Amino acid sequence: MIRRVITRGCRRSLLARVAVLTFVIAGALAPAPAFGNITKLGRAGFGTIVLDDARQHVFVTGPTANAVYELDYSGNLLATTSNVYGAWGMTINGNYLYVAESTAGAIARFDLAGATMTPSTVTTGLNNPRWLVMTGGRLWTTTGSSFGWDNIVSIDPTTDSTSTLSETYYGADLAVSPGDPSTLFVAEDGLSPGSVYRFDVSASPPTEVAHSSSNEQENIGDLVVSPDGTRVIPASGYPYLFQELSASTLEPDGLRYPGSAYPTAVAVSGSGLLATATRGGRESILRTYPLGSPSATFTATCNLEVPPHGLALSADGSSLFAIGFAGEETVLTTPGSGCSPRLSEPPPTTTPPTTPQMPSSSSNGSQPPPNLSPELPHLQFSPRTPRAGRPDASLEINAFREELVSRLTHAPLGYRYFFAARRIHCLNGATHLIFTAGGARRTTSCRPGPILISGEVAVHRTYAIRVQAIRVHKLRIVKRGASYSGQLYMPGSEASWTRVAQVPPSI
C-alpha cells in the first residue's frame, strides 16, 4: 500500500463481510428454499468450511479472528473456539477435527465426541501451514510463504512425525477422495497455464504418477475429486466453465460443466453431486450438477462474493453451504429463492464474542482495517519450457492501493487502487514488457519491480490482465515473445494490504 498526503478528498467505507449460505436442496431437483437464519460471525476472515455429517454440524475457520466456528445445519451458532491462531485448512477423520494454525505453525486436533471443543497439538514448527487433507493414514498440509513456492508436508497423527516432498509447488492446493485413499492431488493455484499433479502416497517416498498443464486450467483456485476417485474438477479463472479431468491421466475427459465469469469454488457430495460457484463483481452464481452430466439441477444468483474453498455439500447432497463476502462481517444465512441475503434486517442469532488476537510486536492507529481476506489477489506468470530465442519472462502481478491523507489534518481520506508487477525476471533476450491492465496499455523495462502497470481502477471488480515479453533495440521492437493473460480481482479494505514506500510507474 502507498501512502500519499493530499489536501482534498473524500472518505469511503469499503469494508467487506463474509456470508455463509445454507441451501437445503432436498434432492438435486428441488427449487431454492425459503429464507431462513442469518448468523453473524464478526470480522472473521475465511479459511475453509467443512461438514461433520455424522452430527450435522458445520465448521468454519476465521483466520482473522483466530477462531473456529461451529454451527448446526440450520445455521445456528453453537460454539466459537478462540485462540486457534490463523485458523485455515481443516479436515475431519472419524471423531477428530484437524485444523491448520497458519500463524502458530501448528496442527491442532479437536475431539468431536468430547463435551467441549478443546484443542490438542498434533505437531508444531511448520512454516505457515494452510491447506489440510488426510489420505493414506497421514495428514497433508502446505507450508511456505503466502502466494509463493510451497512445500507439501505429511504428518503422522499418531506419532507426530513429518516428512516433506522433494519438490516445491507454486500456491499448492490439495484434494483427496475416499474412493482412492492412496492418492493425493495437488494444484498450483494462480498460474497461467495451470497445473495439476497426482501422487501415489502409498509409495515410499510418494511418487508423482500423473501431471497436466493447460491453458484451459488458468489461475486455479479450488480443486475437488469425485467420491469414487475417478474424476477431478478444478475451479479455474479461465475458461468460464468447469472442465472435468480423468483422475488417472489428469487429461480432459470431455465433460465440461457450464459456468460463467469467473469460476471460484467447487464441492462434491458422497451421493455424486457437484456444486460450483462463479463470481462476477459482488455477485455469484451457484449451480449443482449430477457428476457426469452437464445439465444443472439447481441454480441460485447471490449478491455476495464466494471465494475459493467457499462451498461444501452434505454427504447426501441435500444441503449446500457457501461462504460469501457481502459487507462488514462474516454471516451464516439460509437464503431463499434468488439467494439475496437481507442483511439490513436484524439477525435472529447472536454475534459471537470478540476473539483475542495473536499478540503483535508493534501496532498503531494508522494501520489499515483488519483484513477479512488475509491475502491479496495475484497472478503468477512463469514459463514451463522457455523456447530458445523467444523473449520470455516470469513475474507476479498484485493489487496495490495508495492511501490519501489530508496535508492539514493528517486524517485518512480514502484510497486509490492500482495493479503492479514485481519479481520480474526476463529471459531469452527480453528487454521490456508490455502490460494491458484496467484498460491501460503500458510498457516497462525489465527490472525487478514493483512497478505500476495500470491506471486507477475500481474495487470489487475483476480485470483482464495481459503481458507480453519483447526485445527492444534503438527504441524499436525487434522481436515479440511469449504472452500471458489472466483475470485479477481488485479487493477493497477487506484485504490485508502491505504498506510500501513507493511503487514506481511504468514508462
Give the pLDDT score at 407.
64
The confidence score (pLDDT) of residue 182 equals 95
CA distance 473 to 161: 56
pLDDT value at position 239?
Answer: 85
Between the alpha carbon of residue 108 and those of residues 8, 88, 130, 170, the distances in Å are 49, 11, 12, 25
Q: What is the pLDDT of residue 349?
A: 36
Please, is 13 exposed, middle or buried when counting C-beta atoms within 10 Å of its C-beta (0-12, 13-18, 19+)?
exposed
pLDDT score at 21: 62
The pLDDT, as a whole number, for residue 460 is 79
Helix, strand, coil proportions of the chain in percent (round to 5)? 0, 50, 50
Whether the full predicted model's pTM is greater than 0.85, yes or no, is no
Other CB atoms within 10 A of residue 468 CB: 21
Task: Give the integer Cα–Cα distance in Å for 174 and 370.
Answer: 27
d(CA 377, CA 150) in angstroms, rounded, equals: 17
CATH superfamily of this structure's domain 14-333: YVTN repeat-like/Quinoprotein amine dehydrogenase (2.130.10.10)
Q: What is the pLDDT of residue 353?
A: 34
Confidence at residue 503, expressed as pLDDT on a 0 to 100 scale: 55
Prior bond to 262 cis, omega within 30? yes
Question: Please, which residues have CB within 8 angstroms of residue 364's CB and are 6 or more apart in sequence?
Answer: none
Q: What is the 3-state secondary structure (H, E, C) of 366-377?
A: CCCCCCCECCCC
Mean pLDDT per 10-residue section of the chain, whose length is 507 residues: 40 41 48 46 88 94 93 87 96 97 96 90 95 97 80 95 93 95 93 90 95 87 96 91 96 94 92 91 85 91 82 88 69 46 32 33 30 58 75 89 71 79 88 86 84 85 89 88 87 66 51
Could you tell me which CATH class the domain 378-490 is placed in? Answer: mainly beta
311 and 322 in contact (C-beta within 8 Å)?
A: yes
Domain layout of the chain by residue ranges:
14-333, 378-490
**What is the pLDDT, as a whole number, of residue 23?**
57
